[in-house]
Amino acid sequence: MASAKAKAKLNRIIRNRNEARMLAEQIVADQKKIDEFQEQVKKIAAEYGIDKVQFELPSKKQRLLDFMSRADMNRLDMGELGYVNRVQAISEHVWIATDADMSVSAPEGTRSLRSILGKELFMRATRRIVDPARLQELIDENEITEEEVAPAHYTRMRAPYIRFEGGK
């Protein structure tokens, strides 16, 4: 027989899933209303030369994403409405070309490629942005080593997001 703690935890999980399902259903219903409203707004906007009007539901979507992340839930079934997937995007590689490209999220010890290479090699390794192929050519030609340019590159994880799929 299950303990009172285990029953309470199970009830909390079920209640949280039901709340998440209700929130997802509310987002879908709100999106349908927004789509209808958006069609009306597009007609009016076209009269004023506005090409694109977009509406978002960031707070509700963010609440659902936060719940799914905390619950380590990747899929939420919504019956006839389909389901919601929590998607974790892959990481992205970031090159820091100049000191102006340095961001707050850059790891400690990160330096700009310009400060590492100097002007001449920097101009050969970049166009408007860092060209990894040209930089690799400089490494292959022994103009510079991978260890020397490593502080100008880091990888960061992209933020997860939710995707509504299926349903009517």
DSSP H helices, 83-143, are 113-125, 132-140
Whole-prediction pTM value? 0.38
Q: Could you list the pLDDT tens digit for every one of the 168 residues in the chain?
A: 567 777 777 677 677 777 777 777 777 777 677 667 667 777 777 777 776 655 555 566 777 778 778 778 788 777 777 777 888 777 777 788 888 777 767 788 888 888 888 888 888 888 777 888 888 999 999 998 989 988 888 887 777 766 766 655
How many whole angstroms separate alpha carbon 100 and alpha carbon 79?
Answer: 49
Please tell me the distance from the alpha carbon of residue 39 to that of residue 46, in angstroms, as a whole number.
11
DSSP secondary-structure letter at 145?
-
- Reading the block at residue 59, the tokens are 């707070």
The helix or strand, by DSSP H or E, that contains position 94, with its residue range, turns out to be: strand 91-95
DSSP labels, 52-77: ------HHHHHHHHHHHHHTT-SEEE
